[in-house]
Structure formats: structure tokens, C-alpha cells
Structure 1
């Protein structure tokens, strides 16, 4: 078919589409690489977040904290931005790839008018894919978070940045319409984001990749608008340079100025993650000794308190118990408080996933036994027996560091402790713990 025939057929197809109410924008949004790029971004971000959520030792418990959810979603722009860039580059090079550049240039529609629908698809679909993934992750976190509000503005800012990378890819595809442009631009986007994030100084704040977010942080209000200004400015400038006429290309200065303003706010505004005093406020139960966790882990309190009940019952009436057991990362403790390790060490998704570790640390934190003493045979036997009795160890656990004879002797002492009357057990434990604080357990008689 001649070029004139192709042109006539193309014009006829466009007229039919317009008659059906499907303009070029609608056609582009329904076809091309846009929907596929959105699906790939949605799957990659969602699966990466799911992998972190199911691994309690992955270094972040994002479903229990809005700040960690926002921080990890920001890090995963490392996935969405390269995919958006590659899809945009493939979309931008479409005219050259289909050998229609000269043909379309001869139509009445100018370059800007022809390019805008394809650009909208290259920028909008990746942003929608990222936002859909962020929505799923926030809905999942809603099941577990016990403090604060979702940082939705941060997700919108990251989606804007993803769209900007799609625009950069589109511009590159138009400038260098080659098959290698898409993969090379994707690698370049990944390297740019990663290298910027791991530089020292203010430039690191230009990247959304940040591994320092913790549950006790909140995001400064100005960070998302500044990131959106930077992203929209860079993307807008790239688009103007790619599709505007030679006479209008200097207009790229306007979005570049917006990018400079956004970049200036990010680099000069200080660390956008600020300590949140409300997140580290204490919530406590009403038992003795009281258990206090930070508000961001408040959802753990009922379960943690219930797991401590057997320990509390065994030590009831023993002198020297602390007034409170406090989750105290970096906190100055009041007199009578004993510090517990951060809840992240024994919990995931605001649920305790290592109950023995938690109870063991609570028992150790009570400070009833002085460590570093020189113990004789009787003291070692009593210490082992009391520890196993408090923690309710079976013979297998007792024998982890002991031979069969030591296990048998330890179990005999445990049985004797259990055989005491409540008053007799309280009196013997009082004598034992008094001696244990003075490194004099060898003087304590067997129960």
C-alpha cells in the first residue's frame, strides 16, 4: 500500500474513533505500553513489600508503622522508576520503530499534538501502578498499626516521581529512538537513584531511598510538596525539550525553576524524618510489675501482658521487683523502672512472634539476680533450677548446656520448689533473691 493510502486509512481510522467518542488520549491510555508498565510496577512493588512483611527479620516491620510503610515505599521507587523509564523510552521511540516518523510529520497535526497522548500514557500509567501498590500496602498496614496516621502525601510524591521518570524515558526515546534506549535508560535511572541516596551530605535527600526510617519518626510536612516540585519540574522540562517546537523550547526554563525550588527545599531543609514524641509515649498495663510499651507498639500490650502473667504469678510477693518494665530505646528511665529491649526484636505486625525471647528478657530485666559473681556448685545448681522454674523449661532445655546428671539434680530442685506451700515458696524465694543480689547463693539452703 502506498504512503498516501496508509495516510488516508489512518485519517479514516482516527475519524471513526472520534465519531465513537474515543479520542487519541483515550486510545493511548487503553493501548500501548502504559497498562503493562502499570501492572509491572504494581506487581514489583507489592511483591517486594509482601516479602518484607512476611520476613520478621528483614530489618523493618513496616505493617505496624506508618513511617516505616512510607519509608519502604520510598525505597521501592528503585523499582518503579526504572520500569517507568524503560516503558516511557519504548513509547517515545514508537514512531521511529514503526517507521511512521516521516509519514506522521506530513499530517496537519504538529509534533506537540501528536506526542501529548503518548506522553500522558507514559507518565500516568506508571504513577497509577505505583499508587495502586501503595493503596494495597496501606490497607494491609491498617490491620496492624496502633498509632498515627498514614503518610499519604508521601505516596503521592513518590508516584509523581515515578511519572517524572516515565516522562524522562519518553523524552529519551524520542531523542534516541533505538532498541537499546529502554534498557539502558532503566539501568541509568536505577544507578542515579541509588548513587544519590548513598552519597554523603544534602544531595542524598534528593532521593526517596532512605533506610534510616524507624517507627518513632514522622515526615516533615514540606518534604512531599518539595519532592513533587522537583519531579514535576524535571519531567516538565524534559517534555518541553522533547516535543516543543524550536521556538518554544526555551520555555523549559519555567519547569526547571520549579525543580530548583523543590531541590533547594530538599537539600537545605534538613533531615525530613523527625522524631515523633507521641510515638514514643508510654502505654502501660495495671498489673505488678507494670509493663509499659511505646505507643507505636501499643497493639502488643495486651498480648505481652498476658505472656508475662505466669512470670508475675511465680514472683508475686518477692521483694525487689521493679515498679515497671519499660520499652526504653534511648529513654531516661525513672527510678524503679527496668529497661526492656525494643519490641521490634520479638514482634512483627504488632504481634509477638518470639514469646520466649520476650519473657526471657523481661525476667532478666527484673534484676533480681546479680551477674558476674563467682558461684560454687550449690549456687550453680540453685541458679539453674530457679531459672528453669521461672521460665518453665523442660528437661531438653535444661540439658542444653548440662549433662544428664545435672539435669536430674536440677529437676529435683524444681520439684522441691513446686512442692512448697505458697507461703513457704515465697519465703524461700525471698531468701534466694536476697542472697543472689549479694553473690551469696552458696549460703542458701535447698528448698
Structure 2
């Protein structure tokens, strides 16, 4: 076990500094990064890494931060990368975040001062019951906190600082990668894996203390365009076929008791409309399609198309286009080929004195795509909870355990080489 201690509260101070920097990404923007303000955090991280003595730390033109902690062992150790994303979700404001530390939490309701209607209650946030005596960080009630994924960023930075200062702790070459735009599905679009030159990776972007996720959804995105028939509404009888109404029929025909996010859990997938726009002549819907196997994912795509076709039969003069695109795939298929990556992650968690929880994530991480790009990459807990919301929170003590886990992973790879 590493002898890491959160000296002088450096971990929460680091996290709070990052949380105050607005890094919200924008799915409508075509640029990379999607918002220039993400580079503000990137610049801060590079400055801190250089100050630690990590001389190659830099940010590229696309907002990716790269850094290398040199090996301090004679052994030939695989190169390990730790990765977190810098952006916060478009679902909730990340502007003017005011982090608040609730010290020595005793199970009370946490009422957020800038909007007292935002209350964190233990019976609604089950993990709070494991936090008695810990220090909980929330936002102030009008924004998200940004623990997703600035908790991970702070933990990697803290671990890097420890490894640089404690040269007696043996490790191979460690790479650091901070990405933009993960929240809008573009987190590794322009990641330069040749430059990164790592063999295996770990994203630090999970929720509950002790969790390690080696399985994600497989994901597709779908765009449905309905081309209706528009005429003057005063003379429309027998002629008009409103694309808006046709699209509404399609959406209404989706199952209500299955295949939806609100009716599924565990290993069940779904078809989820996430945006609509339209006029009488043309209407459009965006969907996300999710499941744990590629076969079921394809089945959901075929089901959506058959449902559209059955509605369209009633509108002989209208047409549709349904485009389904791959977003990411379940990383388990890749990770099963490299069992030591997950095993060493579990060993590292247990060495930090925690029960490891190997589980699936009903979502995706940068690691899903990195795994398919040649960097097998499970996801380790960062301690973030209720992300993408004003109730988001993180525990300082959980973050300390994540830092210990990161350091332990580096040590365990060295020991086993």
C-alpha cells in the first residue's frame, strides 16, 4: 500500500480549483475542443505538471493534455496511461461553480444555499449512508459540481505529484492523458495514441468507491428524417401529410413498458429519443440506441426501422430516411483478451483497503473507444455521484482512496514485470 496522504488538503484544494473553471462542452459546435474554455483548464494542468518537474507536459491544438512520468525501475514494465476528461456535461450549467465542503457529514439533509429547494437526502442518495464522518463536496445549488470528471483529473494530478516526489516508490513509465469533449461523445476523436505510446490504460471516471468497470454499453446514434407533404392549410384536405404528426406517431409507437431508459436496468437496452425539430414539410428526431451486445443493438435498430415503416404505410406520399451510426462498443470484448489489466486494477483497489466491485456501466467512457483503438482501458472509480445535476457530490475520502488506487496500479505493474 502506498504511503500517500492528502497533505495540507492538497487534493480537495486541487479539485475545487478545477471545478471553478467552466469547461462545459457543446454538442452543436463542430470544433475540437467544442468550447475554447476547456483549454483554460488544460493550460492550468500543463502549468502544474511542468511545476512538478514533468518536462514534456503540453496541450495540443485540439485541447488534449499529454504528460510522461519517467520509469524509475530497471525492469521492462508495460507503459500505463491514466486518463480523465476535462469537460462537463451540457445538461446542466457549469458556469460560476461554487464548491462547498460539508465537513464531518453525519447523515443530515444537505441544503444547497443558492437554491434551498436543492436538497441531498440520504434516502435518495444511497451512497451517502457510507459517508458518515467524511467530508462531502457539493456545488451551491445553481450549477453542477463537475466531479464528473474533475475528481478524476484531480486524483491523477495528485498521484502524479506523489510519484514524482517519492522516488522510492518503483514504477514503469506512466502516461497522463486529459481529454476534451467526452460528455458529447467525442472524447478520443483526436487523441494521438502514437504520441501517447501506452500499452494499457485506466480511465478514472467511475462512481462508487471500489468500483472497476470492464463492460460498457455498445452504442449507436440514429437520425430519423420524415419528409411530409406541405400545402396551404386552408386547401389541405386530402393533400397534406404533416411530417410533424407522422414523427409524433412514430414516437408514440415506441414501447412504453420496455426498451426505454425509464423502464430498464442492469443488462437491458433501450431506444431513446433525445431531440426533435420540425415543420410540416420535414421533421427530424435524434435517438440513442444502447445494449450490451452488438446483436441486440442491431436488433433494436431493425425494430426502430420496422416501426417507422409501419407508420409510413398510412402516408403514401411521404418518405423517410433513417441513418444509424456506430458510436462506441462494449469494451469487455477487448479487455477479456488482456485479463491482467482488470486483475491489477482489482488488486490495486484491494491494496487500498477497499472491497473491489467489478461491474458493468450503463453508459460509456473514453475507455470504450480507446480499447478498440488499441489501448485496453477499464474504468476505475473517481467517487463522483449524481453527475450531470445540481445535486452532484463527491467525498474527499473516496477521492483519497482513488489516488491510492492509481499509485497502487503503477506499483503492481512494476512488481509483476
TM-score range, shorter chain: under 0.3
Instruction: Return the structure number with greater relative CO, CA threshold 8 A, min gap 6.
Output: 2
Query: TM-score normalized by structure 2?
Result: 0.25
Highest CA radius of gyration, 1 or 2? Answer: 1
Looking at secondary structure, tell me which structure has more strand per residue: 2
Q: TM-score, normalised by structure 1?
A: 0.24
